[in-house]
């Protein structure tokens, strides 16, 4: 089994690996997020995403992009910690950081076969959907496990 740290790549290495997978007929799935405090909802979502193809690529927000998106108190865990924990999951094949507000550049560079987000998004509004569809890929949404979110966990911690 591949060590977790070996699954964390920069964009150039990720692009080469995704191309290699595609050339060998593998269906590449892409999703993205902050994944600040890993919980059951995240694991369920990522496991279901992986079931949509042969390889799962996770675009992970850098610390700077998490702070811009979630506020100055976030992230709780730094990007290297988050990446290593996520890369240790058997159903994640590749973790690559992005610092922009959206993963559009990452999606445009990797051009996955399947783009996945949570069902709180409409498929047609998902960033990068046009890129993936133009290349013959598909866009899917996955329902979340009710009651699980990092925000809810943080609120519970603050109450104790």
- CATH number, domain with residue 121: 3.40.50.620
Which residues make beta-bridge pairs with 95?
8, 58
Residue 38 to residue 97: CA distance in whole angstroms: 17
pLDDT of 36 over the 60 cut = yes
pLDDT-wise least confident of 16-25, 83-92, 121-130: 121-130
The contacts of residue 90 (CB under 8 Å, 6+ apart) are 1
**Residue 116 structural domain:** 4-159
The HSE-up count of residue 48 (CA atoms within 13 Å, CB side) is: 16
How many domains is the chain built from?
Answer: 1
Residue 129 to residue 32: CA distance in whole angstroms: 13
- Is the C-alpha dihedral spanning 39, 41, 44, 50 positive or negative? negative
pLDDT value for 40: 93
Reported as a single tens digit per residue, the pLDDT across 93-144 is: 999 999 999 999 999 999 999 999 998 878 778 999 999 999 999 999 999 8
pTM: 0.93
pLDDT-wise least confident of 20-24, 51-55, 104-108, 120-124: 120-124
- Residue 142's φ and ψ, nearest 5 degrees, are -125, 135
Residue 100 to residue 61: CA distance in whole angstroms: 8
**Residue 78 DSSP class:** -
């Amino acid at each position: 089994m591949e060590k977790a740290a070996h699954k964390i790549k920069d964009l150039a290495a990720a692009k080469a690996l995704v191309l290699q997978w595609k050339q060998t007929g593998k269906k590449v799935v892409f999703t993205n997020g902050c994944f600040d405090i890993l919980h059951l909802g995240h694991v369920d979502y990522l496991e279901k995403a992986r079931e949509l193809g042969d390889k799962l690529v996770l675009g992970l927000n850098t610390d700077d992009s998490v702070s811009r998106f979630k506020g100055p108190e976030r992230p709780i865990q730094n990007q290297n910690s988050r990446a290593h924990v996520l890369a240790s999951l058997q159903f994640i094949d590749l973790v690559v950081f992005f610092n922009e507000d959206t993963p559009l550049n990452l999606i445009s560079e990797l051009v996955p076969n399947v783009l996945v987000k949570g069902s709180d998004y409409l498929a047609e509004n998902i960033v990068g959907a046009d890129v993936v569809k133009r290349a013959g890929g598909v866009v899917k949404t996955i329902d979340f496990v009710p009651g699980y979110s990092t925000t809810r966990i943080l609120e519970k911690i603050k109450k104790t």
